[in-house]
Structure 1
Amino acid sequence: MTTKFFDRLSNDLSQLLEDPIDYNVTIEFGEAPNNQIFKVHSYILQSRSRYFKKKLNETPFNKDHIKVLTATNTSISIKIFNVIIKYIYGGIISLEKLEDSTIFDLIIASNELELDELAEYLKTYLVNNHASWLTLKFAQIYRTSYRVQNLKIIKKVCNDIIAKYPSTIFESENFYSLPEGALISILKKDNLQLVESKIWEYVIQWGKVKNPILPTNLEEWTIENFSTLKTTLKQCLPYIRYFSFSHEDVLEKLFPYQQILEPKLFLDINTKIMAPNKPISSKIFPARTIPDSNILTIEHSLEILSWIDRQEPYYTGNIRYKFELLVRGSRDGFNVKNIYNICDKISNTIIVLKVEGTGEILGGYNPLQWNKEKIGRNHTCDSFAFSLKTSNLKNSILSRVKNYNYGIGYNSSISWFSFGHTLVLRGNLRTSKLSYCRINGESFDTPIRSAGLLGLIHCPPSSDKCAFNVEEYEVFKVSKRNDLK
């Protein structure tokens, strides 16, 4: 048995900082009479910081056997270094009384001094507890991350904020002061949680702000006006996911600005609408996905949430729910029993499946708790099954529970789970070929597969036509976010 006395160790080392017996390094900050000299120990500094290890190896002892460091080429203030040196000695830091700007400066200082553990902790703390300040100062922070090339930790802060609060960033007045390179880096993100047409609107507005001479009324625009906007947005336009636009948004959002798009691109966008299977030459970027999903796009997640809330159309700003990944087949295994074991006693879950061979995305919403001990049908009026829009399915299909006594079916002992008979999952989802959908009017109101892929009564395992395997599946816990102001 090993016993660890870390509290006493931390206290003793902190006392050594207060009473620096046998110190052999001095670090001077500022100029007299407002300067401060820290008397510290080389072994502690070198063991805690790669920066100090390198610096001290390069610095000789003076005649008094002291290594003298002068903090001249640094932005670290005396106040900030006081906090950091206490962390270096005692492993303790108190943030409660510090201003948000001070914590941000601490991240920069920790990064400069190669204190990776502290920098990562401060980044997470700032993102999780002070998001409102970060979004308010986002443009300034993002510019800092690009000005200081090795400031990777600040880029991570920005990436976290962008992923969590995209519309807050885009709607900030500071957004329009972002440099082009910063905007492009945002547009490249695959998990930007906004529908593509909304991203397009923000980019268009950014370009207009850069050209205040452009007429306010689009009907008054000349060819030269469109040419000006196209030139401004030339480097940004390639990163819009045009083929993720809904047909309505192509008409309402893209069509008015078609003159800033290359003619071939606009033709290909319309070709995909009118003849989806016809090949095109334009590059098709993958649709943006929600964080931690290999299956769901942003549009998919918004549609599912609108069904949960029973409201349409759904909002297009920040996603006000969070999808917490619980199970993934390729990571956790494909047997339905694995879902029961991992999700037991968890409610409000979405399961999504990518069907092998067809590209269909099927799934359902279970508002009840998963229960590996229960067998049989369970009452709920809120469950539903679905087939999501893909390149082969023009519109998603929603099937709500009709007979509330058949809302959810459980049987962990035989690896079985169901949304009535509208979607039934059995065995190993990847290899057993026991999962199926069937024509059923008694429990859910709409079939979620085409007639040719539906079983009439009990199709598996005798009917290969309606039974299916999956390439991948995911289960998410869906809950409202409490981090949006």
Structure 2
Amino acid sequence: MTTKFFDRLSNDLTQLLKDTTDYNVTIEIGEAPNNQIFKVHSYILQSRKKLENSTIFDLVIASNELELDELVKHLQTYLVNNRASWLRLKFAQIHRTSYQVKNFETLQEFCNDIIAKHPSTIFESENFCSLSEDALMSIIKRDDLQLVEGQIWEYMIQWGKAKNPFLPTNIEKWTIENFSTLKTTLKGCLPHIRYFSFSHEDVLEKLFPYQQILEPKLWLDINTKIMAPNKPISSRVLPTRTIFNSNILTIEHFLEILSWIDRQEPYYTGNIQCKFELLVRGSRDGFDVKKIYNICDKVSNMIIVLKVKGTGEILGGYNPLPWNKEKNEKMHTKDSFAFSLKTSNLKNSILSRVKNYDYGIASHTLVLRDNLRTSKLSYCRINGDCFDKPIRSAEFLGLVHCPPSSDKCTFNVEEYETANNIQNSVLSRIKNEKFAFKYPLPIEQFGPWFGNCEFPT
């Protein structure tokens, strides 16, 4: 992509070529009396060299001090588009500087995108309580901040107390003046909290102790919504944050799976153009495989994750194709994959992509059978050339189809979730893919994922 040449800045620099008095370098070519002398500027010569990332960042700061607004904007965009890995490496410094210096909106947005997806990078950092009010507000006002509202409230209260270290440690000893002080400190942040997204437990345990920093009408409306949900209220209701609420996955897990779906870099920091809709959850909907089979019928872009009882493994996979319980057929796809996610017992996640596209769905890579919680019949089988690699260690891989519950490879599931991923780039890729439906299979040989689900008749 050709860099835009900014008119105002280029005109200023062009004037330097005509200036024969204010120069600091001379270049002499040839010998007298036929020699030629060129009068130049050292900083223009230096700019022709490839600059280090830190030098470019320093140049942003210097350009801002000199009020070279076009250059400030251009260099920020250049760093975000071309040196993003370095910005992430220096995240704390970049984030702090972006709010200390005026006109660094592009870098602020870059940092806030990362914080929204990885909240611990700032909320659990030693520098959290030193954030400026503007920096904190810019984070908590985001719809995509991946924290439940009760957690955001607790962090905000922590920040407010840190700004007023004289406040009593025991809230039961607080005076009206103490609450008034905290309310004044948090006046810019309080309007951005999604009060009507709190769980009932968090209203009682987290909001109630600090009700004095809320407007009386707001506190009444919060309680009204709990006791009479359909009764109208006058307080402003902000939209619920778009978070992926999982009993199994962390936000880091979620982003890793998303990067595999979209074939992006492992550390996904771009705008997330998708929505994950939870369809089935074991603890909510039951653990019979028939539940998955019925609810997920004719749904495409499906993710399943499950936590293995006893080992803590998180297994699962992704199937881009819509599947039909009335058609027991293998399906051709190049985008399905299975995985085992990073846990305390697994240093790095395992991604296993389909190799034989004709076996993208029915390959026995992950086999779900009967009642996932009690039957101990689910397993992963050695699948030959169908997928890149196994998602469990060799000792836990099945050697035969449908091993008995006494086999070491079979397992029960502590929790499972299935979700539907709506993502434009994946949908467009699927749209253009040729579906090859062939090889009729009996129902116990076909399932919605990369292995099969066995459904008793």
Query: Would you say 1:263 and 2:207 are equivalent positions?
Result: no
Deviation at 1:288, TM superposition (A): 2.0
Instruction: Give yes or no for contact 2:333–2:360 (8 Å, CA) kept in 1.
Output: no
- 8 A Cα contact 1:271 1:278, kept in partner: yes
Paired residue for 2:193, among 240, 245, 262? 240
Deviations 1:102-132 (A, max 9, x none): 4431344577474566543423565423535
Q: Deviations over 1:210-232 (max 9, x none)?
A: 22221111111122211221122
AA matched with 1:241: R
Corresponding residue number in structure 2 for 1:138: 95
Aligned to 1:194: 147
Root-mean-square deviation (CA), in Å?
5.0
Q: How does 1:112-191 map to 2 (within 5 A)?
A: 112=68, 114=70, 119-124=76-81, 127-135=84-92, 138-144=95-101, 148-149=102-103, 151-191=104-144
Residues 440-455 of structure 1 mapped to structure 2, 5 A cutoff: none
- Specify the alignment match of 2:12 in structure 1: 55
Q: Matches of 1:273 and 1:406 in 2, distance apart?
A: 45
Identify the residue that residue 255 of structure 2 maps to in structure 1: 322
Q: Give the 3 Å change call, closer, same or farther, for CA 140–119 of structure 1 in structure 2.
A: closer
Matched, 1:303 2:221: no
Structure-1 separation of matches of 2:228 and 2:237: 15
Could you tell me which residue of structure 1 aligns to residue 320 of structure 2? 339
For 1:158, give the aligned amino acid.
C
Normalising by structure 1, report the TM-score.
0.49
Q: CA deviation at 1:157?
A: 3.5
> What residue is the counterpart of 2:50 in the other structure?
93
Who is 1:310 aligned against?
none
Residue 404 of structure 1 corresponds to which residue in structure 2? 378
- 1:281 CA displacement: 2.5
Higher relative contact order (CA 8 A, sep 6+): 2
State the shift of 1:201 in Å: 1.2
8 Å contact from structure 1 (residues 378, 406) kept in 2: no
SS of 1:347 mapped into structure 2 = strand
Contact 2:137 2:189 in 1 (8 A): yes
Supply the distance in 1 between the matched residues of 2:81 and 2:165 (Cα, whole angstroms).
38
Contact 2:373/2:413 (8 A) holds in 1: yes
TM-score w.r.t. length of structure 2: 0.51
Per-residue deviation at 1:175?
Answer: 3.0
Output the amino acid matched with 1:195.
V
Q: Residue 401 of structure 1 contacts residue 444 of structure 1 at CA under 8 Å; is this kept in 2?
A: no
**Distance verdict in 2 for CA 1:380–1:260, change over 3 Å:** farther
Match 1:272 to one of 218, 225, 230:
225
Unaligned runs of 5+ in 1: 1-5, 7-45, 71-80, 290-296, 307-317, 351-366, 385-397, 408-442, 450-469, 478-485
Q: Contact (CA 8 Å) 1:52, 1:113: kept in 2 or not?
A: no
- Quote how far apart the aligned CAs of 1:67 are: 8.4
Structural mapping, 1:355-370, within 5 Å:
none
Shift of 1:185: 1.8
Kept in 1: contact 2:366–2:380 (CA 8 A): no
Contact 1:241 1:284 in 2 (8 A): yes
Aligned length: 303
SS of equivalent to 2:139: helix
Shift of 1:256: 1.2
- Which residue identity lines up with residue 335 of structure 2 in the other structure? D
Question: Is the 1:143–1:182 contact (alpha carbons within 8 Å) kept by the matching residues of 2?
Answer: no
In 2, are the aligned partners of 1:214 and 1:225 still within 8 Å (CA)? yes
Q: Indicate conservation of the 8 Å contact 1:50/1:113, yes or no.
A: no
Structure 2 letter corresponding to 1:305: L
CA 1:399 to 1:342, structure 2 compared with 1: closer, same or farther past 3 Å? Answer: farther
Q: Pick closer, same or farther for the CA change 1:405–1:187 going to 2, 3 Å.
A: closer
Which one-letter code corresponds to 2:378 in the other structure? Y
- Per-residue CA deviations over 1:438-466 (Å, capped at 9, x if unaligned) read xxxxx9999999xxxxxxxxxxxxxxxxx
Q: Distance in 2 between matches of 1:188 and 1:247?
A: 22
**Partner Cα separation in structure 1 for residue 90 and residue 364 of structure 2:** 45
Residue 305 of structure 1 deviates from its aligned partner by 0.8
Write the deviation string for residues 235-275 of structure 1: whole angstroms up to 9, x where unpaired: 21110112222222222211211111122222332333333
Whether the 8 Å CA contact 2:99–2:108 is kept in 1: the answer is yes
Partner amino acid, structure 2, of 1:473:
I
CA distance in 1 between partners of 2:16 and 2:413 (Å): 80
Q: Deviations over 1:128-186 (max 9, x none)?
A: 23535322563343222xxx23x333323332442344223223343333332332222
Native 8 Å contact 1:380 1:404 kept in 2: no
Query: Following superposition of structure 1 onto structure 2, how do residues 28-107 of structure 1 map, counting pairs within 5 Å?
Result: 48-56=5-13, 59=15, 66=20, 86=46, 89=48, 93=50, 95=52, 100=54, 102-107=55-60
Secondary structure of 1:251's counterpart equals: helix
Quick one: structure 1 residues 348 and 242, their matched pair in 2 at CA, closer, same or farther if it must change by over 3 Å?
farther
- 5+ residue gaps in structure 2? 25-40, 263-272, 276-297, 302-318, 322-331, 342-350, 382-411, 427-457
Of the three residues 236, 240, 245, the one matched with 1:283 is 236
Among 359, 364, 371, the residue aligned to 1:374: 359
**Conserved in 1, the CA contact under 8 Å of 2:60 and 2:76?**
yes
Structure 2 partner of 1:3: none
Q: Give the counterpart letter for 1:163 in structure 2.
A: A
How many Å separate the matches in 2 of 1:121 and 1:152? 13
